[in-house]
Structure 1
Protein backbone atom coordinates (compact mmCIF):
# COMPACT_ATOMS: atom_id res chain seq x y z
CA UNK A 1 0.00 0.00 0.00
CA UNK A 2 2.78 2.44 0.80
CA UNK A 3 4.34 1.96 -2.64
CA UNK A 4 0.97 2.73 -4.24
CA UNK A 5 0.58 5.83 -2.08
CA UNK A 6 4.05 7.06 -3.04
CA UNK A 7 3.33 6.37 -6.72
CA UNK A 8 0.10 8.33 -6.44
CA UNK A 9 1.88 11.25 -4.79
CA UNK A 10 4.52 11.25 -7.52
CA UNK A 11 1.78 11.14 -10.15
CA UNK A 12 -0.02 13.95 -8.38
CA UNK A 13 3.16 16.04 -8.21
CA UNK A 14 3.67 15.64 -11.96
CA UNK A 15 0.01 16.32 -12.78
CA UNK A 16 -1.54 19.73 -13.45
CA UNK A 17 -2.50 21.63 -10.29
CA UNK A 18 -6.22 21.01 -10.83
CA UNK A 19 -5.85 17.22 -10.32
CA UNK A 20 -6.40 15.96 -6.75
CA UNK A 21 -5.21 12.82 -5.00
CA UNK A 22 -8.77 11.44 -5.04
CA UNK A 23 -8.83 11.77 -8.85
CA UNK A 24 -5.52 9.94 -9.23
CA UNK A 25 -6.40 6.98 -6.97
CA UNK A 26 -9.68 7.50 -5.11
CA UNK A 27 -9.89 3.97 -3.65
CA UNK A 28 -6.75 4.21 -1.49
CA UNK A 29 -5.93 7.85 -0.94
CA UNK A 30 -8.81 8.59 1.39
CA UNK A 31 -7.76 9.78 4.87
CA UNK A 32 -9.01 6.48 6.33
CA UNK A 33 -6.91 4.34 3.95
CA UNK A 34 -3.81 6.49 4.41
CA UNK A 35 -4.14 6.39 8.22
CA UNK A 36 -4.60 2.60 8.15
CA UNK A 37 -1.59 2.19 5.86
CA UNK A 38 0.64 4.33 8.07
CA UNK A 39 -0.50 2.51 11.22
CA UNK A 40 0.21 -0.87 9.63
CA UNK A 41 3.66 0.21 8.46
CA UNK A 42 4.79 1.59 11.80
CA UNK A 43 4.85 -1.74 13.67
CA UNK A 44 4.68 -4.35 10.93
CA UNK A 45 7.70 -6.58 10.54
CA UNK A 46 8.52 -8.86 7.68
CA UNK A 47 7.83 -12.13 9.49
CA UNK A 48 6.16 -13.75 6.49
CA UNK A 49 7.73 -11.93 3.55
CA UNK A 50 11.45 -12.25 4.30
CA UNK A 51 13.79 -15.23 4.42
CA UNK A 52 15.03 -15.70 8.00
CA UNK A 53 17.92 -17.64 9.47
CA UNK A 54 17.46 -20.02 12.39
CA UNK A 55 16.20 -18.70 15.71
CA UNK A 56 19.03 -18.09 18.17
CA UNK A 57 20.13 -15.95 21.10
CA UNK A 58 21.61 -12.52 20.37
CA UNK A 59 23.53 -10.12 22.66
CA UNK A 60 24.70 -6.63 21.81
CA UNK A 61 23.79 -2.97 21.64
CA UNK A 62 20.64 -1.49 20.24
CA UNK A 63 20.88 2.18 19.28
CA UNK A 64 17.32 3.47 19.11
CA UNK A 65 16.13 6.91 18.15
CA UNK A 66 14.39 9.03 15.57
CA UNK A 67 14.40 7.05 12.32
CA UNK A 68 17.12 4.79 13.72
CA UNK A 69 17.17 1.27 15.11
CA UNK A 70 20.66 -0.18 14.79
CA UNK A 71 21.91 -3.44 16.31
CA UNK A 72 25.61 -4.13 16.91
CA UNK A 73 26.00 -7.79 17.81
CA UNK A 74 28.45 -8.60 20.59
CA UNK A 75 29.08 -4.98 21.61
CA UNK A 76 28.83 -4.08 25.31
CA UNK A 77 29.60 -0.34 25.09
CA UNK A 78 29.41 2.30 22.38
CA UNK A 79 33.22 2.37 22.19
CA UNK A 80 33.17 -1.40 21.71
CA UNK A 81 30.56 -0.98 18.96
CA UNK A 82 32.79 1.49 17.14
CA UNK A 83 35.73 -0.93 17.32
CA UNK A 84 33.61 -3.80 16.03
CA UNK A 85 31.96 -1.80 13.26
CA UNK A 86 33.56 1.60 12.66
CA UNK A 87 31.48 2.14 9.52
CA UNK A 88 28.15 1.15 11.12
CA UNK A 89 26.76 -2.37 11.39
CA UNK A 90 23.92 -2.05 8.91
CA UNK A 91 21.70 -4.37 10.95
CA UNK A 92 18.21 -2.99 11.56
CA UNK A 93 16.75 -3.94 14.97
CA UNK A 94 13.04 -4.77 14.72
CA UNK A 95 10.28 -6.00 16.99
CA UNK A 96 6.53 -6.15 16.53
CA UNK A 97 3.27 -6.99 18.26
CA UNK A 98 4.23 -10.70 18.27
CA UNK A 99 7.46 -10.05 20.19
CA UNK A 100 7.27 -11.43 23.73
CA UNK A 101 8.32 -8.58 26.04
CA UNK A 102 8.01 -5.83 23.41
CA UNK A 103 6.78 -3.40 26.06
CA UNK A 104 10.31 -3.46 27.54
CA UNK A 105 11.63 -2.07 24.24
CA UNK A 106 8.92 0.50 23.49
CA UNK A 107 10.17 3.30 25.77
CA UNK A 108 13.58 3.37 24.08
CA UNK A 109 12.04 3.32 20.61
CA UNK A 110 10.08 6.49 21.41
CA UNK A 111 13.21 8.47 22.24
CA UNK A 112 13.90 11.07 19.57
CA UNK A 113 17.24 11.98 21.14
CA UNK A 114 18.53 8.43 20.85
CA UNK A 115 19.11 5.75 23.49
CA UNK A 116 21.79 3.12 23.80
CA UNK A 117 20.47 -0.17 25.16
CA UNK A 118 22.21 -3.42 26.03
CA UNK A 119 19.93 -6.17 24.81
CA UNK A 120 19.75 -9.92 24.94
CA UNK A 121 17.00 -11.70 23.06
CA UNK A 122 15.93 -14.72 21.06
CA UNK A 123 15.36 -13.83 17.44
CA UNK A 124 16.29 -14.31 13.80
CA UNK A 125 18.37 -12.44 11.23
CA UNK A 126 17.60 -12.08 7.55
CA UNK A 127 19.67 -14.19 5.18
CA UNK A 128 19.36 -12.03 2.09
CA UNK A 129 17.93 -8.85 0.63
CA UNK A 130 14.24 -8.07 0.73
CA UNK A 131 12.53 -9.06 -2.53
CA UNK A 132 9.35 -7.02 -2.92
CA UNK A 133 8.13 -8.62 -6.13
CA UNK A 134 9.56 -10.87 -8.84
CA UNK A 135 11.75 -8.89 -11.19
CA UNK A 136 11.98 -5.87 -8.87
CA UNK A 137 15.38 -4.86 -7.49
CA UNK A 138 16.06 -6.05 -3.92
CA UNK A 139 15.63 -3.53 -1.13
CA UNK A 140 17.35 -2.94 2.19
CA UNK A 141 15.72 -3.00 5.60
CA UNK A 142 14.65 -0.35 8.09
CA UNK A 143 14.36 3.38 7.54
CA UNK A 144 14.51 4.13 3.81
CA UNK A 145 15.94 0.64 3.24
CA UNK A 146 19.33 1.77 4.52
CA UNK A 147 20.33 -1.42 6.35
CA UNK A 148 21.72 -4.51 4.64
CA UNK A 149 20.16 -6.90 7.19
CA UNK A 150 17.48 -7.01 9.85
CA UNK A 151 17.26 -8.83 13.16
CA UNK A 152 13.76 -9.59 14.47
CA UNK A 153 13.19 -10.07 18.21
CA UNK A 154 10.94 -13.00 19.10
CA UNK A 155 11.48 -12.89 22.89
CA UNK A 156 13.19 -10.26 25.02
CA UNK A 157 15.51 -11.77 27.65
CA UNK A 158 17.27 -8.70 29.04
CA UNK A 159 17.25 -4.96 28.39
CA UNK A 160 19.44 -2.40 30.13
CA UNK A 161 19.31 1.28 29.31
CA UNK A 162 22.90 2.54 29.11
CA UNK A 163 21.87 6.12 28.50
CA UNK A 164 21.27 8.80 25.92
CA UNK A 165 23.27 8.46 22.74
CA UNK A 166 24.49 12.04 23.17
CA UNK A 167 25.86 11.22 26.66
CA UNK A 168 27.48 7.97 25.49
CA UNK A 169 29.21 9.67 22.55
CA UNK A 170 31.04 12.05 24.90
CA UNK A 171 32.62 9.17 26.87
Structure 2
Protein backbone atom coordinates (compact mmCIF):
# COMPACT_ATOMS: atom_id res chain seq x y z
CA UNK A 1 0.00 0.00 0.00
CA UNK A 2 1.41 3.36 -1.03
CA UNK A 3 1.84 6.02 1.63
CA UNK A 4 0.20 9.32 0.85
CA UNK A 5 2.67 12.18 1.13
CA UNK A 6 1.30 15.47 2.49
CA UNK A 7 1.12 18.35 0.05
CA UNK A 8 4.29 20.45 0.25
CA UNK A 9 2.53 23.55 1.60
CA UNK A 10 0.62 21.62 4.28
CA UNK A 11 2.03 22.09 7.77
CA UNK A 12 1.07 19.87 10.68
CA UNK A 13 1.60 21.54 14.05
CA UNK A 14 1.92 19.48 17.18
CA UNK A 15 0.97 21.01 20.52
CA UNK A 16 3.89 22.68 22.26
CA UNK A 17 5.09 21.56 25.67
CA UNK A 18 5.11 24.01 28.58
CA UNK A 19 8.90 24.27 28.27
CA UNK A 20 8.62 25.05 24.54
CA UNK A 21 5.93 27.70 25.20
CA UNK A 22 8.08 29.33 27.90
CA UNK A 23 11.10 29.32 25.58
CA UNK A 24 8.99 30.81 22.76
CA UNK A 25 7.58 33.48 25.11
CA UNK A 26 11.10 34.48 26.20
CA UNK A 27 12.29 34.61 22.56
CA UNK A 28 9.35 36.81 21.54
CA UNK A 29 9.77 39.07 24.55
CA UNK A 30 13.48 39.43 23.80
CA UNK A 31 12.89 40.01 20.09
CA UNK A 32 10.34 42.76 20.66
CA UNK A 33 11.95 44.41 23.67
CA UNK A 34 9.40 43.31 26.25
CA UNK A 35 10.60 42.48 29.76
CA UNK A 36 10.86 38.82 30.64
CA UNK A 37 9.46 37.63 33.93
CA UNK A 38 8.44 34.44 35.61
CA UNK A 39 4.72 33.90 35.98
CA UNK A 40 4.59 34.94 39.57
CA UNK A 41 1.59 36.32 41.36
CA UNK A 42 2.26 40.00 41.68
CA UNK A 43 0.17 42.98 42.58
CA UNK A 44 -0.74 44.93 39.44
CA UNK A 45 0.84 48.38 39.24
CA UNK A 46 -1.36 51.34 40.16
CA UNK A 47 -1.07 52.66 36.59
CA UNK A 48 -0.29 49.91 34.08
CA UNK A 49 2.26 50.95 31.48
CA UNK A 50 0.84 51.72 28.06
CA UNK A 51 1.22 48.72 25.78
CA UNK A 52 2.88 49.28 22.42
CA UNK A 53 0.41 49.46 19.58
CA UNK A 54 0.52 46.31 17.47
CA UNK A 55 1.04 46.59 13.73
CA UNK A 56 -2.08 46.55 11.59
CA UNK A 57 -1.30 42.95 10.61
CA UNK A 58 -2.40 41.83 14.11
CA UNK A 59 -4.28 44.75 15.61
CA UNK A 60 -6.95 42.58 17.20
CA UNK A 61 -8.09 39.03 17.58
CA UNK A 62 -11.63 38.36 16.43
CA UNK A 63 -13.85 37.90 19.50
CA UNK A 64 -15.08 34.54 18.20
CA UNK A 65 -11.52 33.27 17.79
CA UNK A 66 -10.44 34.41 21.28
CA UNK A 67 -13.59 32.88 22.82
CA UNK A 68 -12.86 29.61 21.00
CA UNK A 69 -9.30 29.48 22.37
CA UNK A 70 -10.56 30.21 25.89
CA UNK A 71 -13.33 27.60 25.60
CA UNK A 72 -11.06 24.90 24.15
CA UNK A 73 -7.82 25.53 26.03
CA UNK A 74 -8.62 27.30 29.31
CA UNK A 75 -12.12 26.30 30.43
CA UNK A 76 -11.25 22.60 30.98
CA UNK A 77 -8.32 23.65 33.21
CA UNK A 78 -10.48 26.25 35.00
CA UNK A 79 -13.11 23.58 35.71
CA UNK A 80 -10.40 21.34 37.13
CA UNK A 81 -9.10 24.19 39.32
CA UNK A 82 -12.64 24.83 40.56
CA UNK A 83 -13.30 21.16 41.34
CA UNK A 84 -9.95 20.75 43.13
CA UNK A 85 -9.79 24.02 45.07
CA UNK A 86 -13.14 25.72 45.56
CA UNK A 87 -15.24 25.05 48.65
CA UNK A 88 -18.56 23.32 48.03
CA UNK A 89 -21.13 25.89 46.96
CA UNK A 90 -18.52 28.58 46.25
CA UNK A 91 -19.12 30.75 43.24
CA UNK A 92 -18.24 34.05 41.72
CA UNK A 93 -16.56 35.77 38.80
CA UNK A 94 -12.93 35.96 37.72
CA UNK A 95 -11.99 38.59 35.14
CA UNK A 96 -8.59 38.31 33.48
CA UNK A 97 -6.82 40.92 31.35
CA UNK A 98 -4.60 39.12 28.85
CA UNK A 99 -1.80 40.23 26.52
CA UNK A 100 -0.86 37.90 23.66
CA UNK A 101 2.43 38.40 21.84
CA UNK A 102 2.75 36.91 18.36
CA UNK A 103 5.16 36.55 15.49
CA UNK A 104 4.38 35.24 12.01
CA UNK A 105 7.21 32.67 12.21
CA UNK A 106 6.85 31.59 15.84
CA UNK A 107 3.16 31.81 16.70
CA UNK A 108 1.31 33.49 19.55
CA UNK A 109 1.65 32.93 23.30
CA UNK A 110 0.45 34.65 26.45
CA UNK A 111 2.76 37.49 27.43
CA UNK A 112 0.95 38.74 30.53
CA UNK A 113 -2.16 37.94 32.59
CA UNK A 114 -3.58 40.24 35.26
CA UNK A 115 -6.63 39.78 37.46
CA UNK A 116 -9.04 42.72 37.19
CA UNK A 117 -9.93 43.20 40.88
CA UNK A 118 -12.85 45.52 40.10
CA UNK A 119 -14.65 42.77 38.17
CA UNK A 120 -13.53 39.75 40.23
CA UNK A 121 -15.47 38.39 43.20
CA UNK A 122 -13.30 35.35 44.00
CA UNK A 123 -9.72 35.26 45.25
CA UNK A 124 -6.98 33.03 46.54
CA UNK A 125 -5.79 29.71 45.19
CA UNK A 126 -8.62 29.32 42.66
CA UNK A 127 -7.77 32.66 41.06
CA UNK A 128 -4.07 31.83 40.89
CA UNK A 129 -4.71 28.30 39.54
CA UNK A 130 -6.80 29.66 36.65
CA UNK A 131 -4.35 32.52 36.02
CA UNK A 132 -1.40 30.13 35.79
CA UNK A 133 -3.40 27.73 33.58
CA UNK A 134 -4.14 30.60 31.18
CA UNK A 135 -0.42 30.87 30.38
CA UNK A 136 -0.77 27.56 28.51
CA UNK A 137 -3.08 29.05 25.86
CA UNK A 138 -1.61 29.22 22.35
CA UNK A 139 -2.78 31.36 19.43
CA UNK A 140 -2.22 31.14 15.69
CA UNK A 141 0.48 33.52 14.45
CA UNK A 142 -0.40 36.82 12.77
CA UNK A 143 -0.49 36.55 8.99
CA UNK A 144 2.48 38.87 8.70
CA UNK A 145 4.75 40.70 11.07
CA UNK A 146 4.30 40.63 14.81
CA UNK A 147 2.18 42.24 17.43
CA UNK A 148 0.70 42.37 20.88
CA UNK A 149 -3.04 42.04 21.40
CA UNK A 150 -4.82 42.66 24.68
CA UNK A 151 -8.30 41.57 25.69
CA UNK A 152 -10.31 40.85 28.81
CA UNK A 153 -12.74 38.05 29.65
CA UNK A 154 -14.74 36.85 32.64
CA UNK A 155 -15.30 33.29 33.87
CA UNK A 156 -18.32 32.69 36.11
CA UNK A 157 -17.92 29.88 38.66
CA UNK A 158 -20.93 28.07 40.13
CA UNK A 159 -21.74 24.60 41.46
CA UNK A 160 -25.01 24.77 39.54
CA UNK A 161 -23.62 24.62 36.02
CA UNK A 162 -20.56 23.96 33.90
CA UNK A 163 -18.40 26.94 32.94
Q: TM-score range by the shorter chain?
A: under 0.3
More strand by share: 1
Give the alignment's TM-score, normalised by structure 2: 0.25
TM-score for both structures, normalised by structure 1: 0.24
More relative contact order, 1 or 2 (CA 8 Å, 6+ apart): 2
